[in-house]
Amino acid sequence: MARRYCRRMETRVENNSEYKRFELYANNNLAGFAAYENADANRAFVHTEIYPQYEGQGFAKVLIKEALDQTKDAGLGVLPFCPFVHRFVSKDPEYLALVPEWARERLGLAAQ
């Protein structure tokens, strides 16, 4: 769990495995989550939500980056079904590399 600051708020991201989601806290308040399903050696991200009072402040980027970093540290690949995660992964070669090669074309991601 990394602590970061976003718009002068302390943030942290925790993997709540019971609910199968990464949760973003801003100043200790739940600000959003990224839901996932584990599938063999991959983690499929299916939905990301930032609560209305936290929208437009960069929290989605903080959440997705930390969720992907924790997924990478766990030795899992990434299946970005969620549009937020898909867009994030498509813009960064480091995170695109986490998507299994067989899934890139199927998900409309450029070959690495």
Residue 16 has pLDDT above 60, yes or no: yes
CA separation, residue 95 to residues 34, 35, 63, 79, 90 (Å) = 16, 18, 14, 11, 8
Q: Which residues of 42-77 are buried (b: 16+ CB within 10 A; e: fewer)?
A: bbbbbebbbeeebeebebbebbbbbbbebbbeeebb
Average pLDDT of the chain to the nearest whole number: 92
Across 4-33, average pLDDT = 89
- Residue 83, pLDDT score: 96
Q: Which residue has the tokens 């199927």?
A: 106
* Full set of structural domains in the chain with CATH: 3-106 (3.40.630.30)
- Residue 9, pLDDT score: 82
54 versus 6: the higher-pLDDT residue is 54
